[in-house]
Structure 1
Amino acid sequence: MTSPKYPKVVGYDLVQQIGGGGFSRVFRAVNVAEHRVAACKVITLTAETTDKERKTVEKEMRIHAALKHDNILEFLNAVVVELKHRAHYVPGIYMLLELAAGGDLFDKIAPDWRIFYFNQLIAGMDYIHKEGVCHRDLKPENLLLDVAGTLKISDFGLSSVFKLKDTGRTRTLTERCGSLPYVAPELNSDQPYEAEPIDVWGVGVILYTLLAGNTPWDEPTQHSPEFMRYLSGEIFQELPWSRFSGEALSLVQGLLTIDPRERFTLEDAFQHPWCSRPSQLAKQGSASLAEALTQSLRSSGDLELASPDFSQRNPSKDDEDEIMLSAAHSTQFTQTLMLFSQTQSGTRYTPHLTRFYAGIPPDQLFPLVGEDLSALGVTCREAPPGEGGALRLRIGGQDARKEVFRGWVQLESFEYRGAQGAFCVMQKDSGNPISWRQLWRALIQSPHVGAHVLRKAGGA
């Protein structure tokens, strides 16, 4: 008897898990006949799944499907596999979405792109609010890039309708939700709250994160020393606040005004001098945009660590799925950003920048990775081997802002100077992409693993 498999979703086959965990997984899906690639979010259905949980997902799909904008990840279709079919297929709700082939915005952001992408964020959020929807979960992992390098707002699982478009009638909201570093302070009360200012606050935290590389506090309460210093004004004499330009600081403070009645609106942000300065990047072609986006990664050496050129050869095109990926995403932007892994099982597209090569084989590197990650406070659990016998660790923990992260570390073989080396990929399921890259950097600089990382093309 064969085990249940994932169904074909409106012509798309689920070929590789690229994110998620627990009751929700995200797969890369390919439509062979139409030469198309998409993402498929699978929410598992079990006998314990309640009607309330199903209605929450249905609401997410209704809201997301109705939103059509350049800066919103497109909802394509959905199918449901009920429990009665579990003998043949994995029961679940299958949401087919646009594939954000450019990956996490915060995985690749360079300083010169802050205004360019912040304006796209405001444009997308302005549209969402005009459609009567409040997102309520703005954070770095929900901001992605498409094949052309355009920002895409994703994940409407916590969104809510607060305004009827035909009458303009609005309502306050009561549900407490969101991630603590990004939620507005009025959610600390048990009183109903206005919808739009909640998202404006989230936009403000995102802007600070674009400028500083981290969130401003753990949570907007008296339990956070940083937030209390923000209230008193002391924090403006400290780094990184003290190095913000006057215009940038003015905008951040306007968006992060405590009283929601006095807080900036999105229109205020649109008209602010920091946002109204013309961006030269917007006038460049996609190849130039991608070069500019990755400049800081090349300067820091991160791009060379993630994708050293060992052979001076172009990536193999033998794999049909790889050909489809390239054909479906043949923009100059993604050609520049595409990262191909060179392993014993072949050359293929691996979009994660959190990766490195080592000069010792996987079975020798594997215990060192576990030891150094554990020393960094990360929980590690050995997992069954992956495709091609790849060694895998399931990892998780909390970052410096107390946000939970989960993911995988996978080690594969590749040939290095006539001997066996190891290719290591750290794949995030959940958590802040900034924290994930910080963990990657800590690992490649750790005592045992760091000694074996190949730090330049063709050398150690």
Structure 2
Amino acid sequence: MTSPKYPKVVGIENDPVPLPNLNILLLGYDLVQQIGGGGFARVFRAVNLEQHLVAACKFVPITPHTTDKERRTLEKEMRIHNTVKHVNCLAFIDACVVELKLSAKYIPGFYFLIELAAGGDLFDKIAPDVGVGDEVAHLYFNQLISGVDHIHKLGVVHRDLKPENILLDVTGTLKISDFGLAAVYMLKETGRIRQLTDRCGSLPYVAPELNGAEAYAAQPVDVWGVGVILYTLLAGNTPWDEPSIRSPEFVRYLDGEVFQEEPWSRFSPNALSLIQGLLTVEPKDRFTIDDAFRHPWCTRPSQLAKKSPATLAEALTESLRTAGDLDLAAPVLSPSNPPDDEDVEMLSAPHQTQFTQTLMLFSQTQSGVRYTPHLTRFYAGVPPESLLPAICEGLVSLGVQIKNAPPNGTTLRVRIGGQDARKEAFRGWVELDPFEYHGSHGTFCVMQRDNGNPISWRQLWRATIQTPFVEPLVLKKRAAST
């Protein structure tokens, strides 16, 4: 597989989101670490020390320029997410709003406390252009449509179903996240249904009817989204740039030519039938969620549902092991006497399940054990100050825009951004922590995505490692434990 090209984007904007004081107590929780963010929000890991609970906190700032419309949108997101209570939807815990008049003591903004998806991104565990096995896709697709069915029965449509909004909890259960574009399309009390007019979503995942100016039916938009996600599970990539005649791949789909090509030609007849039903262009002819539930590909018994979480983790990451990605992301290393860090151990404890341990989401650094839900990471045999210039050269050679950032303690950082092969924007961080390796100083490097397709981010991770600037420095082989 050739490495994708990442077109250069002119400038990486200054992050408009201020950093809340990590020492504040929010609804009984301490904000302890930023774990993500994108656009106009940040996401933090939050810990309730008294009750030994861990959550995520989504923070959206309020500024003097925040409009009434923006406030209403966030308030709507809170109301909608609070009504969604399903095992396959990220749970809403609590929320609060800090107004501008309190800015002398706090950072004003909307604070959403939500369930922490400690298993990370589902699609971070999938090898690009390979996908997962049929049984793994079957398990997670059934969980996905169960969550979507619940949302629809509440009279709500998600409208932003895409790989980066599909997460995993500590047991490997799928969780639908991010209700920022959700809308109410049906009044439960009367059953009255309205059509929608807003144009929203990301081009590779939006339904084709959003290309027009007319109002559209709500549920078929989410059905199209789950169809793209099923394809992505099985193929390891999205099917097209956008569902319009501007995309050659979509035109070949309309003409039927793609069905003789990879990866379409390797799908089983039942899987292909289901994908085609979900990705029917005419909304009134498209499958419904009930049609998907009744489809033979979905109704067969799951071979993984009753297996252990460790078995599920092994099946999920099989394509990464075959590709050699896990040998890079989680080599067995032996740092020289890493110091104990009781705080890190305590805060990581709620994540240390059979599923997350099998995924090897715990990494060794000089400051102890670090919980790292991103598998886009590697170790190098040189210290951070030597590795950072090599990574920057590698990223620039790939057409990625970089921007220096101040260190966070002993962690060196650089901000990166660009566009992937599907013309989707991505942004994130490269973070480098020191560690000791057989008496020598090395680096633990994490490429942490803020927004963008997780599969494209994995392609960028692999391409960066393969550049001549970085490749000689990477610890590739598994060292024997001592």
- For the superposition of Structure 1 and Structure 2, which TM-score range results when normalised by the shorter chain? over 0.9
Match of 2:301 in 1: 278
TM-score, normalising length: structure 1: 0.95
User: Where do 5+ consecutive residues of structure 1 fail to align?
Assistant: none
Residues 383 and 434, structure 2, Cα contact 8 Å, conserved in 1 = yes
**Residue 122 of structure 2 corresponds to residue 105 of structure 1:** yes
- Name the structure 2 match of 1:292: 315
TM-score by length of structure 2 reads: 0.91
Q: Is the 8 A contact 2:334 2:438 kept in 1?
A: no
Which segments of 5 or more consecutive residues in structure 2 lack a partner in the other structure? Answer: 1-18, 127-131
> Which of 380, 390, 410 is residue 368 of structure 1 equivalent to?
390
1:136 aligns with 2:136: no
CA distance in 1, matches of 2:459, 2:206: 23
Per the alignment, residue 424 of structure 1 pairs with: 445
Say if 1:438 and 1:100 are closer, same or farther in 2 by CA, change over 3 A.
Answer: same
Give 1:132-281 correspondences, 5 Å limit.
132-281=155-304
Hey, what's the Cα distance between the residues in 1 that align with 2:121 and 2:361? 14
2:7 matched to which residue of 1?
none
CA distance in structure 2 between the aligned counterparts of 1:314 and 1:118, rounded to whole angstroms: 44
Name the SS for the 2:464 alignment partner.
helix
Is the aligned partner of 1:5 residue 2:27?
no
Match of 1:38 among 55, 67, 70: 55
Match of 1:21 in 2: 38
Count of residues in correspondence between the two structures: 455
Q: Identify the residue that residue 71 of structure 1 maps to in structure 2.
A: 88
User: Cα offset for 1:91?
Assistant: 1.1
C-alpha separation in 2, matches of 1:21 and 1:258: 31
2-structure distance, mates of 1:242, 1:315: 50
Map of 2:426 onto structure 1: 405
Determine which of 395, 408, 413 is the counterpart of 1:392.
Answer: 413
- Select between 333-342 and 57-66 the one with higher mean Cα deviation: 333-342
Is the 8 Å Cα contact of residues 335 and 436 (structure 2) preserved in structure 1? no
Aligned to 1:415: 436
Deviations 1:190-210 (A, max 9, x none): 101000001001111111111
Per-residue deviation, 1:315: 8.5
Identity %: 68
Cα distance in 2 between the residues matched to 1:288 and 1:241: 28
The reply to whether residue 332 of structure 1 matches residue 349 of structure 2 is no
1:305 match: 328
Read off the aligned partner of 1:5 and give its amino acid letter. Answer: N
Deviation readout 1:150-174 (Å, 9 max, x if unpaired): 0000000000000111211100000
Amino acid at match of 2:325: D
Computed over aligned residues only, the root mean square deviation of the Cα atoms, in angstroms, reads 1.8
Provide, for residues 94-125 of structure 1, a one-character-per-residue CA deviation record: whole Å limited to 9, x for no partner.
00000000000111143241000000001110
Q: Trace 1:81-100 onto structure 2 (pairs within 5 A).
A: 81-100=98-117
Q: Which has the higher contact order (CA 8 A, sep 6+)?
A: 2
CA shift in 2, pair 1:322/1:184, >3 Å: same
Deviation at 1:350, TM superposition (A): 1.8
Distance (whole Å) between structure 2 residues aligned to residue 368 and residue 325 of structure 1: 31
1:435 aligns with one of 446, 451, 456: 456
Is this contact kept in 2: 1:317–1:323, CA < 8 A? no
Q: How far does the alpha carbon of each residue in 1:344-368 deviate from its partner, in whole angstroms, 9 at most, with x for none?
A: 2333222211110111121121111
Cα distance between partner residues in 1 of 2:231 and 2:318:
21
Residue 116 (1) aligns with residue 139 (2): yes
The amino acid that maps onto 1:68 is K
Larger deviation: 39-48 or 280-289? 280-289
- Once the two structures are overlaid, the 10-residue window that deviates more, 37-46 or 289-298, is 289-298
Contact in 2 for aligned 1:5/1:88 (Cα 8 Å): no
2:341 corresponds to which of 318, 322, 331: 318
Alignment partner of 1:280: what SS? coil
How far apart, CA to CA, are the structure 1 residues paired with 2:320 and 2:254? 35
Deviations 1:21-74 (A, max 9, x none): 352000000001111100000001111111100100000010000010000000
